[in-house]
Structure 1
Amino acid sequence: MRDVAVYRYDALEEMTGRLSFSVALINGFGDGIVLTSINGRTETRTYVRVVCGGKGLQPLSPEEEHAVRAARLGIGPEVEPHRVRR
């Protein structure tokens, strides 16, 4: 993996502190994965989505798209919410 970016955010209104995150691990061809962890008060859910050519094989959430775009642009490793445009 050549390009890495972490996008941290508040996924749920009940949880603050930007504990949820999406991590994009992308190679030079735009292929790789996005690992997403959604943190709630009583549970955490983790998802992995495959990325080919900079696009998800499944629809990506806006946060996952931010992470992929930041990784491909070399903005990582950690991206502040205001640094990546939708």
Structure 2
Amino acid sequence: MTTPTETQNIEQQIVEQLRLLPSDRQQQVLHFVESLLTDKMRERPVEGWQPGMSALDVSRDWVGCVEGPSDLSTNPKYMEGFGT
């Protein structure tokens, strides 16, 4: 496990090395990091999800947890410009 001090040192090293690169190479590094994060997000399973479940099935505990109209389409103001 990495300690906070070790993490800070790694981050400092990365920033120092990144600053030495020309801007086009810095952009390449950014794209690489973004692709790593995207890959990581794909690997992370959604808690409670099983094959065949819908988004509603997974989020059922959260449905209705906030106040407001049960269906925004009941208020014409929310639907202004929709579908035009």
Q: TM-score, normalised by structure 1?
A: 0.21
Higher relative contact order (CA 8 A, sep 6+): 1
Bigger CA radius of gyration: 2
Structure that is richer in helix per residue: 2
What TM-score results when the alignment is normalised by the length of structure 2? 0.21
